[in-house]
């Protein structure tokens, strides 16, 4: 740039770009901080792009990395002799990982598993470029020096972090029905449950003997003779109990018909 050797003015406006040491010395000057951020923006962007493995927009990743870069600039101490990129890299990586863990994925996974997902993704990218094909689970495990089941766990966890909506269109084509329409079915027992609750409420008005006779007749499917023998009544008495009980329940269920 043409202004690369011009100093920073005392007014706080960057009139030129001195050496980087001078920029760090004037870090509290907004123009100096902006210039430092601009110098390392490509570095932050490269880290952000390395996290481009899911549906998260690239612009959002770059924004997270940019904010992390500013944090690193505020915290950096040049006197320690550490290169700024080496200092800023963990901060930017950490913010991007936190962004994915806390905001992007609707299903959260343990941090250790989340980091393994990232390792598997990077290994897949590296091996795909090297082998000119998609790597096998065994090849990924060898690359990471880990067990195959850990690779499979990471792959499954990554897929499970983004559940498919039951209302989303199917994958076979635009005319495919949503999963909810294919998986869900009408439950014919809902009406039966409602009827049972209504009958139970009506039966609460009956005596214990009447309830027993109704249970033996309609639940255990006994004949009137068998019920009479069971409870020690005559068959005619059982018949009268049944008629009376059914009539009382009918009145409870439909008072207008009484």
- Which CATH number goes with the domain that contains 112? 1.10.10
The two tokens of residue 37 are: 């951020």
Shared-domain flag, residues 123 and 155? yes
- Asked, for residue 58, whether it belongs to a domain, the answer is no
My answer on whether 163 and 206 are in the same domain is: no
**Which DSSP symbol is given to 103?**
I
pLDDT in tens, 197-212: 777 777 787 888 888 9
State the total domains in the chain: 2
Q: Does a structural domain hold residue 28?
A: no
The parent domain of residue 157 ranges over 108-167
With beta carbons less than 8 A apart as the criterion, state whether 66 and 44 touch: yes
In degrees and rounded to multiples of 5, residue 139 shows phi and psi of -70, -35
Give yes or no for residue 238 having a pLDDT over 50: yes
Task: Mark whether 162 and 201 lie in a shared domain.
Answer: no
Same domain, residue pair 141 and 197: no
Strand partners, 14: 8
Residue 244 sits in a domain of what CATH number? Answer: 1.10.10.10
Name which of 200, 212, 198 is nearest 254 in CA terms: 198
Dihedral, 249, 252, 253, 258 alpha carbons, nearest 10: 90
Q: What is the pLDDT of residue 24?
A: 86
pLDDT at 177: 61
For the whole model, what pTM was predicted? 0.38
Report the pLDDT value the prediction gives residue 98, as an integer from 0 to 100: 77
Q: Is residue 238 part of a domain?
A: yes
- Grouping H, G, I as helix, E, B as strand and the rest as coil, residue 14 is strand
196 and 250, same domain (yes or no): yes
The C-alpha atoms of residue 196 and residue 184 are separated, in whole angstroms, by: 24
């Amino acid at each position: 740039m043409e202004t690369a050797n011009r100093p920073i003015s005392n007014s706080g406006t960057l009139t030129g770009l001195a050496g980087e040491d001078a920029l760090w010395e004037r870090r509290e000057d907004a123009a100096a901080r902006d210039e430092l951020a601009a110098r390392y923006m490509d570095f932050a962007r490269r880290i952000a792009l390395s996290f481009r493995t899911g549906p998260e927009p690239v612009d959002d990743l770059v924004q997270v990395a940019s904010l992390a870069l500013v944090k690193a600039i505020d915290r950096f101490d040049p006197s320690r002799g550490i290169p700024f990129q080496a200092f800023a890299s963990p901060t930017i990586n950490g913010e991007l990982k936190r962004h994915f863990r806390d905001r992007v994925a609707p299903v959260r996974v343990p941090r250790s598993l989340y980091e393994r997902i990232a390792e598997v993704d990077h290994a897949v990218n590296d091996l795909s470029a090297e082998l000119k094909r998609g790597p096998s689970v065994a090849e990924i495990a060898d690359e990471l020096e880990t067990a195959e089941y850990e690779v499979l766990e990471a792959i499954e966890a990554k897929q499970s972090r983004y559940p498919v909506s039951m209302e989303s269109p199917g994958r076979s084509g635009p005319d495919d029905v949503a999963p909810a329409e294919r998986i869900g079915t009408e439950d014919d027992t809902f009406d039966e449950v409602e009827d049972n609750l209504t009958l139970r409420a009506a039966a609460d008005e009956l005596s214990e003997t009447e309830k027993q006779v109704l249970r033996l007749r309609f639940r255990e499917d006994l004949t009137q003779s068998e019920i009479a023998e069971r409870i020690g009544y005559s068959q005619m008495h059982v018949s009268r109990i049944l008629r009376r009980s059914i009539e009382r329940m009918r009145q409870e269920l439909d008072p207008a018909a009484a």
